[in-house]
Amino acid sequence: MTFTLHLGDCLDVMRGLPDNSVDSIVTDPPYGLSFMNHHWDYQVPAIEVWREALRVLKPGGHLLAFAGTRTQHRMAVNIEDAGFEIRDMIGWVYAQGMPKSGWLKPAWEAITVARKAAKKVLQLNIDACRVIRPKGDRTEYGVDGDEGSPTANTYGERERVAYVPHNQGRHPANLIHDGSDEVVALFPNDNPGCKPHRVKSSEDSVARLQEKGWGFAGSDKIAGYDDGDDLSAARFFFCAKATKKDRGANNTHMTVKPTELMRYLCRLITPPGGVVMDPFMGSGSTGKAALYEGFRFVGIEQDAGYLEIARQRIVDAAAEDLL
């Protein structure tokens, strides 16, 4: 596994990189919130920055860019105006956060999902990012055409169908959480979405499907579930915020993202053996994550102090992987 780190303004550095030379971009750019009066956070990255990122990205490749809730719209507009296709937005929900200047306490951040147009696009790595099902989690619902055998209700309607879960886990969602008590409380176990949906059906079909583990109206217990199962937010990928160990020694960066989160995001949009680029590298969480996942990495950082912190974290990650 190889990595290349550049010191300098990302716009200048990217102008020196070849066309179509990276497979994915995963980055945590400035949010434009004047965070702690840092000059680099006075505005979100300009269209010109994203235009260069688009040029360097391979056709059909994806970009994941974090943003703050107050300025996410400006981030997405600049990305789109640079030529990217906006495909989705992922919400990262967490418990820790400080209210700023009397505003609401931040509890989530947006991640813009964008793609470089091409005749042949790179598909998301769904199977590599499926969410492991907890004990007893046997079903979810979809529409006709999903995996498994659909079931019709009494009137023959087939808009909502039950199907056998994928044996590798749940399909990844556009929500990620940190597993904290505060966040998990937002998804209580008694929420119908946390268990097989109760559907109306004939007695024969109820009996037939109950034999396969489905639960239906009229029963006191959902079939397939054990008392005490914690199914709350288990249908979403969860990752705790960065710990002191994860941050590394002497890491003074204020917005360190957890490595497991960045590993998940790199894995979601990068083909095997691909190159991940982060034009706003900070203390190197994306680079560390990319190497752990077996990808090559290109990082750009304008602060020499942060670049050295990133370099040490990434070198340590490379050494761990060789053990």
pLDDT (tens, 9 = 90+) of the chain, 323 residues, equals 699 999 999 999 999 999 999 999 999 999 887 555 555 556 899 999 999 999 999 999 999 999 988 899 999 999 999 999 999 999 998 876 666 556 777 788 999 999 999 988 788 999 899 887 655 554 444 433 344 444 444 444 444 444 456 677 788 999 998 877 777 777 766 655 544 433 334 444 444 444 433 333 333 333 333 344 455 676 788 787 777 778 877 776 767 888 899 999 999 999 999 999 999 999 899 999 999 999 999 999 999 999 999 999 999 888 886 54
- Of 130, 139, 152, nearest to 224 by C-alpha is 139
The DSSP H or E segment spanning 47 is helix 47-56
What does the alpha-carbon distance between residue 230 and residue 155 come to, in Å, rounded to a whole number? 34
- Of 241, 269, 239, nearest to 257 by C-alpha is 241
pTM for the structure as a whole: 0.78
Tokens describing residue 28: 């945590």
Which residues lie closer than 8 Å to 37 by C-beta, 6 or more apart? Answer: none
What does the alpha-carbon distance between residue 264 and residue 287 come to, in Å, rounded to a whole number? 13
Q: What is the largest CA-CA distance in the chain?
A: 70
Burial-class residue 50 by CB neighbours within 10 Å (0-12, 13-18, 19+): buried
pLDDT digits (tens, 9 = 90+) for 255-282: 788 889 999 999 999 999 999 999 999 9
Residue 129: strand, helix, or coil: helix
- Of 242, 246, 266, nearest to 313 by C-alpha is 246
Cα distances (angstroms) measured from residue 240 to each of 46, 106, 219, 237, 265: 31, 16, 36, 10, 14
* Domain annotation for the chain: domains and CATH numbers: 3-127+240-322 (3.40.50.150), 132-235 (no CATH)
DSSP structural state of residue 37 = G
Contact 194/235 with Cβ under 8 angstroms?
Answer: yes
Contact 266/26 with Cβ under 8 angstroms?
Answer: yes
- Of 287, 311, 301, nearest to 10 by C-alpha is 301
What does the alpha-carbon distance between residue 286 and residue 169 come to, in Å, rounded to a whole number? 25
- Of 25, 123, 107, 94, nearest to 236 by C-alpha is 94
pLDDT digits (tens, 9 = 90+) for 241-252: 777 778 877 776
What does the alpha-carbon distance between residue 64 and residue 269 come to, in Å, rounded to a whole number? 8
What does the alpha-carbon distance between residue 125 and residue 164 come to, in Å, rounded to a whole number? 21
* Residue length of the chain: 323
Nearest-5° angle of CA 37, CA 38, CA 42?
85
Tokens describing residue 282: 């900070």
